[in-house]
Amino acid sequence: SSELTQDPAVSVALGQTVRMTCQGDSLRNYYANWFQQKAGQAPVVVIYAKTNRPSGIPDRFSGSGSGNTASLTITGAQAEDEADYYCNSRDSSGYQVFGGGTKLTVL
């Protein structure tokens, strides 16, 4: 099955913009989804099908991508955005795959 690669950790100053990336061959053919997971909680989808934001998710979250790379951008990061972020996609066999996750620290 294919793999998705994420940077282990990123940091951002309060109110600034941060972009997290996810790389993998499957992203050339299938959309990425992004999940936010806070400590002790189940993940929550923040972006699906590369660019779509579920209702209730602040519009500071946005998704993009090209080729084998998907990106999650937080514009004007808030303290409550500090969490682990996981990308997810599927491969040609229908198997689901997650990236290793990025730990976001808001300074």
Partner 1 sequence: QLQLQESGPGLVKPSETLSLTCSVSGGSITSRSCYWVWIRQPPGKGLEWIGSIFYNGDTYYKPSLKSRITMSVDTSKSQFSLRLTSVTAADTAVYFCARLGFNYPFDPWGQGTLVTVSS
Q: Which is nearer to partner 1, 1 or 17 (CB)?
A: 1
Does 95 sit near partner 1 (CB under 8 A)?
A: yes
Residue 77: name the closest of 4, 17, 3 by CA.
17
Does 33 sit near partner 1 (CB under 8 A)?
A: yes
Which region among 22-30, 56-64, 74-82, 97-105 touches partner 1 (by CB under 8 A)? 97-105
Residue 33: name the closest of 81, 70, 75, 68 by CA.
70
Whether residue 73 contacts residue 10, with contact meaning beta carbons closer than 8 Å, is answered with no
Q: Which residues bind partner 1 (CB under 8 A)?
A: 1, 33, 35, 37, 42-45, 48-49, 54, 86, 88, 94-101
